[in-house]
A and B are shown apart, each in its own frame.
Chain A
Amino acid sequence: MRRIGSFLSTHAWARLTLLLTAPLAWLVLVYVVALAALLLTALWSVDSFTGEISKSLTFANIKEIATESLYRTVTLRTIGVALMVTVIDVVIALPIAFYMGKVASPRARRLLVVAVLTPLWASYLVKAFAWRSLLSEGGLVDWVLNPFGGGSPGYGLTAVVLTQAYIWLPYVILPIFAGMERVPDSLVEAAGDLGASTSTTLRTVVLPLLLPSVIAGSIFSFSLTLGDYISVNIVGGANQMLGNLVFTNVGAANNLPLAAAIALVPIIIMLGYLAAVRRTGALDNL
């Protein structure tokens, strides 16, 4: 043990190899290989008579997704929902995170962090189901809004946006709050001392420093919404998102190659998003 130790302390490459081998092997063997295989599977096809998978390569699935209007509609709908959820969550999270990070006393801050974290532990499904009962006919939302002439939006895309925004909110608040804590008080004070108004300080000092954290939070809400099919089933009525199409093709329709091809759509969207935000340093804030 001691000999190994002294060898390691003089050979940096040996230390790096020892550290990197296991996690890198896991990620490559489990994840990269699986993704590559998925890409390959998307080029296979299913024999419509026997239901067997034919392993000769064809672009038929990709072509179908690129040309059929169903996939375009569902893709646009899914991106729309994911964008709405992300915008709602960021707009809500910014003032909360600002209050937690820069206004509240340390004691209140600790309590608030616990208060924001606790709902994370409540089951995702139970939260989705809670919204189902909230939005149901004669549910709490109806009960509160009916006296004012309003009412529940019912099950549909609005309900999906509300439910998803609710479920992923803590995931957006936490990175933004952590980013807010890293904004130095001295810079904020300096801006004030130099005559900047509160809104100027927020716009020109706080927000630019906060941007990577905001993007980090948005990656969570955007990606988590992009692949969701379960809350759509619970509160979405008859609407379908990309996840539903993948799920039906794996299960009921028994067309794994087509499902794999559809799954490429969110992969491409997310890789594009990650590539676009990479320069901002957001990926270090996840």
Chain B
Amino acid sequence: MTLSPLTRRVLAVLTGLVLVLMYAPLLVVVVNSFNQDPSMTWPPEGFTTKWWVRAFHSDGARDAVLTSVQVALASTAVALLLGTLMAFALQRFSFFGKNTVNLLVILPIALPGIVTGIALNNAFRGILGVQLSIMTVVVAHATFCIVTVFNNVIARLRRMGGNLEEASADLGAGVWTTFRLVTFPQLRSALLAGGLLAFALSFDEIIVTTFTAGSGTTTLPIWILNNLFRPNQAPVVAVVAVMLIVVSIVPIWIAQRIAGDAETVR
């Protein structure tokens, strides 16, 4: 198939256009963070940095970011462990019920967040009688984060094959040594990509979080939702959003550099 130069150009223009559409709303958020008028009409009325100053002095925002980072780190750690174990089990072995187990991993992300949310809320409060807290949020987040790690690791395992590990075993290395020196180094970038995605997923989750967080647990999305409709707080939310976008470029870039190919960023 040879594409005519015209087709190539049309595709390039289309791609560019979609990127513009993807970034325009984000740009509006950036502009609004400097907009003097807090009701955010267009075009903006004047330039101010007062929202940025206020955001930097907002304890609520800072605490919410810290809570979200804690939740995301803890659930990513659990997801890394469980997702990797599951990927090895399903890629290296065949056993009765394997397809069902595979479906079970996908289910928490394939079912809408509100289902996961209400199911866990009901289980924690109604059945176990547990107080909702930061721990219940972590359990909930970890459950739907497993699949991102699982997908990255299993894709890597499929490509790796077993030759190097067999060679290592033939040369006398035990199970642990082979894992440490042969398997793990090959998995590292897949773990990083899966972990990053799990972190991002947890960091931005609002629906499941609403149902599983106690009143004392304010993650960043909950803080944003609480402040979005307050007249003078909306621009402060815009500032926080802009900072997040800027900060997020770093991990994405690292993942790209380490991975080198696109498959692992899923």
B102-142 interface with A by 8 A CB criterion: 102-116, 118-123, 126-127, 139, 142
Query: Contact flags (1/0) for A128-145 with B, using CB distance below 8 Å?
Result: 011101101011101100
Alpha-carbon distance A41/B266, docked complex (angstroms) = 36
Interfacial residues of chain B within 64-122, with CB under 8 A of chain A in the complex: 78, 81-83, 85-86, 88-89, 92-93, 95, 101-116, 118-122
CB of B112 within 8 A of CB of A139, answer no
A109 at the interface (CB under 8 A from B): yes
Is there contact, CB below 8 Å, between B174 and A169?
no
A24–B26 touching, CB < 8 Å: no
Q: Which of A28, A178, A228 contacts B266 (CB 8 A)?
A: A178
A103 CA / B2 CA spacing, docked (Å): 10
Contact call A1/B176, Cβ cutoff below 8 A: yes
The answer to whether B225 touches A122, judged by C-beta atoms less than 8 angstroms apart, is no
Residues of B within 8 Å of A100, CB to CB, are 15
Determine the residue in chain A with the shortest Cβ distance to B41.
Answer: A138
A189 contacts the other chain (CB 8 A):
yes
Contact B169 A16 (CB under 8 A): no
CA distance A192 to B2 in the complex (A): 7
Q: Which of B15, B88, B120, B206 has the most CB of A within 10 A?
A: B15
Q: Would you call the interface of chain B mostly helix, strand, loop, or mixed?
A: helix
- Tell whether, in the assembled complex, residue B127 and residue A126 are in contact, meaning their CB atoms are under 8 Å apart: no
Mark contacts of A14-25 with chain B using CB atoms, 8 A cut-off: 1 yes-contact digit, 0 otherwise.
Answer: 011001101110
Residues of chain B contacted by A98 (CB below 8 angstroms): 11
Bound form: Cα–Cα A130–B169 in Å: 56
**Are A22 and B114 in touch, CB under 8 angstroms?**
no
CB atoms of A250 and B252 under 8 A apart: no
**Closest chain B residue, CB of each to CB of A229:** B114
Query: Residue of A at shortest CB range from B179?
Result: A5
Q: In the complex, which residues 1-44 of chain B have their Cβ closer than 8 Å to any Cβ of chain A? A: 1-4, 7-8, 11-12, 14-15, 18-19, 21-26, 28-29, 32, 40-43
Residue of A nearest to B40 (CB): A133
Complex alpha-carbon distance, A125 and B221, angstroms: 7
Interface size on A, residues (CB 8 A): 102
Q: With an 8 A cutoff between CB atoms, is B228 at the interface?
A: yes
Q: Tell yes or no: B61 within 8 A of A by CB.
A: no
Give the docked Cα–Cα distance between A55 and B43 (Å). 57
A223 to B112: give the CA distance in the assembly, Å: 5
Interface residue from B105, B220, B253 paired with A123 (Cβ < 8 Å): B220
Whole-angstrom distance between the alpha carbons of A166 and B20 in the complex?
Answer: 12
Q: Convert A188-230 into 0s and 1s, putting 1 for each residue whose CB lies closer than 8 angstroms to a CB of B.
A: 1101100010100110000000000000000100011011111
User: Which of chain A's residues have a CB closer than 8 A to the CB of B263?
Assistant: 178, 181
Q: Which residues on B sit within 8 Å (CB–CB) of A2?
A: 174
Asked whether, in the complex, the Cβ of B115 is within 8 Å of the Cβ of A230, the reply is no
Q: Which residues of B contact A30 (CB under 8 A)?
A: 120, 123, 139, 143
User: Among residues 165 to 195 in chain A, which have CB atoms less than 8 Å away from a CB atom of chain B?
Assistant: 166, 169-170, 174-175, 177-178, 181, 188-189, 191-192
* B 194-228 to A, binary, CB cutoff 8 A, 1 in contact else 0: 00000010001011000100000000110011001
Interface pair A27/B248, CB less than 8 Å apart: no
Please, how many angstroms separate the alpha-carbon atoms of A130 and B40 in the complex? 10
List the 7 closest pairs (A to B, CB-CB), nearest first: A227-B112, A121-B248, A34-B123, A126-B241, A19-B89, A227-B114, A130-B25
Apart from A32-B104, A260-B122, what are 5 other A-B pairs with CB-CB below 8 Å? A30-B120, A113-B262, A124-B204, A133-B40, A234-B228
| Contacts from A to B (Cβ < 8 Å) | 1-2, 5-6, 8-9, 12, 15-16, 19-20, 22-24, 26-28, 30-35, 37-38, 41, 92, 95-96, 98-100, 103, 109-110, 112-127, 129-131, 133-134, 136, 138-140, 142-143, 166, 169-170, 174-175, 177-178, 181, 188-189, 191-192, 196, 198, 201-202, 219, 223-224, 226-230, 234, 242-243, 246-247, 250, 256, 259-260, 263, 266-267, 270, 274, 283, 286
